[in-house]
């Protein structure tokens, strides 16, 4: 997929056994696998990581949301920070080996994340999505303006379908993050291949 990234984010709507089973099949087509399970304890997260490892999912592809302690102890590839998390700068100083992403919702938040040392940002939501009912989507035009201000990778999230990828890449994005579009698809492996194909296709044309 060249340098265009595909992040798969857990939905919180599936059993861990189902999630692990799907990820074990689709991980070769993904850049990163995010464990975003707010209801899970540190122990549960750690056990889930071990299950993924046992199914041959590379450690360096696994990203833990917010729980820096689990990410560090499990020696996964990265951590995704939210607005309520510790600051990017503090985490970067303490855990320099982790790839640190920051979830942002504005130009100001994105620029601040980069200044603090974030390795990439995830920005959204871009398109209307059922998980953000009543919240106005950011839209594709905001992506172009944001990209002009950043030198780190810009990953976008929210209601993204494979057919959206050409217009997103036209506006400079470095990758997409997907939840239900892959994990809740009727055939996840075919869905992830379609996202991957569109990202790769745009790199070639």
Enzyme catalytic residues: 125
Partnered with residue 104 across adjacent β-strands are 123
CB atoms within 10 A of CB 186: 6
Q: How far is CA 196 from CA 65, 102, 128, 177, in A?
A: 23, 23, 22, 11
Helix axes 16-26, 42-54, angle to 10 degrees: 40
**Contact (Cβ atoms closer than 8 angstroms) between residue 65 and residue 36:** yes
CA distance 178 to 69: 25
Instruction: Give the span between the Cα atoms of 14 and 66, in whole angstroms.
Output: 20
């Amino acid at each position: 997929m060249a340098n265009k990234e595909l992040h798969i984010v857990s939905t919180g709507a599936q059993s861990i056994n189902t999630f692990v089973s799907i990820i074990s099949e689709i991980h070769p087509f993904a850049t990163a696998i995010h464990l975003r399970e707010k209801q899970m304890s540190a122990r549960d997260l750690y056990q889930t990581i071990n299950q993924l490892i046992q199914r041959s999912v590379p450690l360096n592809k696994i990203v833990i949301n917010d729980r820096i302690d689990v990410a560090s102890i499990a020696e996964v590839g990265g951590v995704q920070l939210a607005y309520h998390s510790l600051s990017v700068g503090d985490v970067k100083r303490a855990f320099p080996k982790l790839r640190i992403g920051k979830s942002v919702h504005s130009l100001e938040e994105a620029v601040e994340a980069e200044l603090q040392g974030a390795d990439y940002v995830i920005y959204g939501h871009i398109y209307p999505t059922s998980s953000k009912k009543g919240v106005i989507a950011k839209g594709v035009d905001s992506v172009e303006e944001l990209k002009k201000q950043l030198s780190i990778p810009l990953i976008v999230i929210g209601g993204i379908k494979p057919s959206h990828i050409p217009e997103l890449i036209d506006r400079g994005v470095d990758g997409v993050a997907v939840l239900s579009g892959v994990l809740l698809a009727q055939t996840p492996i075919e869905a992830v291949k379609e996202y991957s194909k569109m990202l790769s296709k745009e790199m070639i044309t």
